[in-house]
């Protein structure tokens, strides 16, 4: 296809190809993960003004940010987890992996009935039977409907007496995602790639353990997955090229 870029540009211009923004807005109100003591927690975004067209900068406005690497819609690099500590930091991620096809597994109906829904290998295989085997180099995205809660920290984190109640893969599904199809990574609408109950799993937080431990990536707090087809969308993931970074807030776009 000698004119592939021309065809894409024409598709964008005509509207035949749509750009869908999968990124949640990042503000001081963006919910962040809450770990129980004694663990350290990531801060939400805060900003300090450097100037506002004033004495400190008569013609310009700019701010200093404080935020965690894992604040808002963000990318998890392999070194985020102990199982991947010998793996890549964010800056080492090959750009070819940041432009890749997306497979969307829609379990929003199941999650509406059961907010602690666990994705199983059987469910992934059922998806493959319907839509074809997940191709190597794909992102697998779990559509849960959770993005509807993203502007309400209490509903989004959904902490119950036993801890957070949010969907995610069970242990075997996490192992499968990390090892079975050569995927680039796994993305979710919730605050983390693991289920809310996953701290009590064996191993704890298996999505992190098996994804990071196998050189896969994570994407969290995604929006608008409802606008993506089960297969055939192209994902563009843009974390900061942060040297030594364990993760980074990211802009995530899909071409549909
Ligand atoms: Mn993270």
Ion ligand 1 neighbours, Cβ < 5 Å: 70, 76, 247
Q: Tell me the DSSP string of 57-83.
A: EEEEEEEEEE--TTSSSEEE-GGGSGG
* CA 50 to centroid of chain Cα atoms: 31
pLDDT tens readout for residues 85-115: 999 999 999 999 999 999 999 999 999 999 9
Domains (range + CATH), the chain: 4-255 (3.50.30.50)
Q: Tell me the DSSP string of 121-188.
A: HHHHHHHHHHH-PPPTT-EEEEE-SGGGGTT-HHHHH-EETTEE---EE-HHHHHHHHHSS--SEEEE
Q: How far is the CA of 60 from the centre of ligand 1 (A)?
A: 33
* Whole-angstrom distance, CA of residue 147 vs CA of residue 79: 27
Q: How far is the CA of 169 from the centre of ligand 1 (A)?
A: 16
* Whole-angstrom distance, CA of residue 89 vs CA of residue 141: 22
Question: What percent of the chain shows pLDDT beyond 70?
Answer: 99
Question: What percent of the chain shows pLDDT beyond 90?
Answer: 97
Instruction: Please say whether the beta carbons of 174 and 202 come within 8 A.
Output: no
Q: Whole-structure pTM over 0.85, yes or no?
A: yes
pLDDT tens readout for residues 145-188: 999 999 999 999 999 898 999 999 999 999 999 999 999 999 99
Annotated active-site residue in 80, 127, 131, 208? 80
Active site residue 80: yes
Q: How far is the CA of 135 from the centre of ligand 1 (A)?
A: 24
pLDDT tens readout for residues 177-216: 999 999 999 999 999 999 999 999 999 999 999 999 999 9
Burial 40-72 (b: 16+ CB within 10 A, else e): eeeebbeeeeeeeeeeeeeeeeeeeeebbbbbb
* Largest distance between two CA atoms of the chain: 64
The pLDDT assigned to 1 comes to: 63
Q: Tell me the DSSP string of 211-234.
A: HHHTT-EEEESB--GGGS-SS-EE
């Amino acid at each position: 296809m000698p004119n592939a870029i021309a065809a894409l540009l024409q598709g964008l211009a005509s509207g035949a190809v749509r750009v869908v923004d999968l990124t949640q807005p990042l503000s001081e109100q963006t919910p962040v993960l809450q770990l129980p003591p004694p663990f350290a927690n990531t801060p939400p975004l805060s900003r300090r003004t450097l100037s506002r067209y004033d004495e400190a900068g008569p013609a310009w406005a700019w701010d200093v940010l404080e935020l965690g690497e894992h604040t808002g819609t963000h990318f998890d690099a392999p070194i985020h987890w102990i199982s991947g500590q010998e793996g890549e930091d964010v800056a080492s991620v090959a750009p070819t992996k940041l432009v890749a096809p997306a497979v969307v597994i829609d379990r929003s109906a199941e999650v509406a009935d059961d907010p602690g829904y666990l994705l199983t290998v059987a469910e992934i295989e059922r998806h493959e039977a319907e839509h074809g085997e997940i191709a190597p180099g794909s992102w697998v995205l779990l559509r849960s409907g959770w993005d509807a809660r993203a502007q309400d920290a209490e509903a989004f984190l959904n902490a119950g007496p036993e801890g957070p109640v949010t969907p995610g893969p069970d242990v075997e599904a996490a192992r499968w995602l990390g090892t079975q199809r050569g995927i680039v990574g796994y993305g979710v609408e919730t605050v983390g790639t693991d289920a809310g109950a996953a701290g009590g799993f064996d191993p704890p937080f298996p999505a992190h353990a098996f994804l990071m431990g196998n050189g896969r990536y994570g994407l969290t707090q995604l929006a608008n997955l409802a606008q993506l087809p089960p297969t055939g969308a192209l994902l563009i993931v843009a974390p900061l090229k942060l040297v030594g970074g364990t993760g980074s807030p990211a802009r995530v776009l899909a071409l549909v």
